[in-house]
Amino acid sequence: MPSGRFPHPPAFPRRGPLREGAFPSRLHDPRVAALLGIWLGIAFGVCFLTGLVSHFMQHPPSFLDWPSRPVWLYRATQGLHVATGLATVPLLLAKLWTVYPRLWEWPPVRSAAHALERLTIVPLIAGAVFQLATGIANTAQWYRFRFFFTVTHYWVAWMTVGALLVHVAVKLAVVRANVGSGRAGRAHLTDRRSAPEPAGEGLSRRGLGVAVGTAAGVITLTTAGQFVPGLARLDLLAPRRPDLGPQGLPVNRTAAAARVITVARDPNYRLEVVGPRPFTLSLAELRAFDHHTSKLPITCVEGWAADATWRGPRLRDLLDAAGIPPGATVRVESLESRGGYRASEVNPPHARDPLTLLATGLNGAVLDLDHGYPARLIAPNRPGVLQTKWVHRVVML
């Protein structure tokens, strides 16, 4: 719309980075930006969708009954979420390098539409950097920010991916004119076309692609072992090793942090099952209850997962003994007196799954205090924060 064009500004403020040719690198190129943008778009898409899976697993809407199978589903989606986010670090920085001169383009705004387009870049870049920085900090449990991570990360994701869709809509013509075998025939779509690569001594465009791919590969190779079975030995730069911890299993929240050391060790501990025929079990009675073994992973929202062998009564046997009907949802309550994760709801698919236990044993020994002694919930395909520890009550809802 030519009528919307703003008048051309005077040239005298055009100094420093605003100068023509201020950025001589041949990597500042629309084709390179478009190719990196496609990869970045795919990565952010994967992060967003797997993030939504995690969000809705923890906060299921009333219409959604999350399945308890396949057992490995949450391990895969959440592992992928964190791995993709980590691998995005070199992609995002390389992409920002290729387009940085656009920050200083002249004139700064050409039209109302152009101003609006530039404005939508702000939430896109701010959100992208924010998501990677806070995500990495959270997996290391490094809390320098004074907001609650999961909630803020969730809303900023909507903002970022929304801004990304706007960006894709605006840049589709540039991408089509610069990418794909028929791109020469689509060159008329935009005036931002890739110039033939000038000769130079530094990194070439292809070289940048190789370096970014290598960086993403190195990051993935040295961190994926925290959730991929069999890769633990390559796990050099991840915040968790799936085999390090009491009884060979990492801990997210210790008994000391949850302030349950005394109550959990109390010899007068009772497990209370509340339903149509409520009953309580002492420690000895709980141990005498019909035990089963389940091989299930702990799959943490922070992206690590570790296999373990659990032993204890099946949750569904306890529910049957209390006369709780198969279609009922139950709440499993911890000895913790406070905190957002002191109780969790178990819907019928998980409550009735034969693999779901109220585990009292782990890897051939009595459950460690930090793993939830005297009893903890362990169910398939469920985030670790909902595998409630130090359980003392199961209530029919």
Which residues, numbered 204-243, are part of the site for another protein (CB under 8 A)?
204, 207-208, 210-212, 214-215, 218-219, 222-223, 235-237, 239-241
Q: Which two tokens stand for residue 152?
A: 């803020």
Would you count residue 18 as binding another protein (CB under 8 A)? Answer: no
Place of tokens 């920002």: 96
Q: In the range 43-102, which residues lie near another protein by CB under 8 A? A: 86, 89-90, 93-94, 96-97, 100
Q: Between residues 60 and 326, which has the closer beta carbon with respect to another protein?
A: 60
Return all residues near 127 (Cβ < 8 A) that are at least 6 apart.
156, 157, 159, 160, 163
Q: How far apart are alpha carbons 393 and 153 in whole angstroms?
A: 32
Task: With CB under 8 A as the rule, give the number of residues binding another protein.
Answer: 87
* Contact code string over 351-380 relative to another protein, x by CB under 8 A: -------------------x----------
If the CB atoms of residues 172 and 288 are measured against another protein, the closer one turns out to be: 172
Decide if residue 1 touches another protein (CB under 8 A).
no
Residue 183 has phi, psi (to 5 degrees) of -65, -30
Instruction: Report how far residue 374's alpha carbon sits from residue 386's, in angstroms, rounded to the nearest whole number.
Output: 17
- Please identify which residue in 76, 166, 179, 366 interacts with another protein, judged by CB under 8 A: 166
Q: Is 155 in the site for another protein (CB under 8 A)?
A: yes
Smallest distance from another protein to CB 337, Å:
18
Calpha distance 217→78 (Å, rounded): 19
Report the residue from 43, 136, 179, 385 that binds another protein according to the rule CB under 8 A: 136
Query: CB of 275: closest distance to another protein in angstroms?
Result: 34
Q: Does 103 bind another protein (CB under 8 A)?
A: yes
> Binding segment for another protein among 55-63, 116-124, 278-286, 310-318 (CB under 8 A)?
116-124
Is residue 156 at the binding interface for another protein, with CB under 8 A as the rule? yes
- Measured from the CB atom, the residue of 111 and 152 that comes closer to another protein is 152
Closest CA to 22 of 102, 114, 92, 95: 102
Half-sphere exposure of 62 (CA within 13 A, CB side): 0
Please check whether residue 50 is in contact with residue 77, taking contact to mean a CB–CB distance below 8 angstroms: yes
β partners of residue 365: 362
Supply 72's token pair. Answer: 């490995």
Beta bridge partners of 359: 376
Tokens representing 281 are 């079990």
Q: Are 307 and 229 in contact (CB under 8 A)?
A: yes
CB of 35 to another protein, least distance (A): 16
Is residue 330 part of the contact set for another protein (CB under 8 A)? no
> Cβ of residue 182: shortest distance to another protein, in angstroms?
14
CB of 150 to another protein, least distance (A): 8
* Residue 172 found at the interface with another protein (CB under 8 A): yes
Tell me the sheet residues that pair with 279: 273
The interface with another protein within residues 248-287 (CB under 8 A) comprises 250-254, 256-257
Report the C-alpha gap between 97 and 335 in whole angstroms: 51
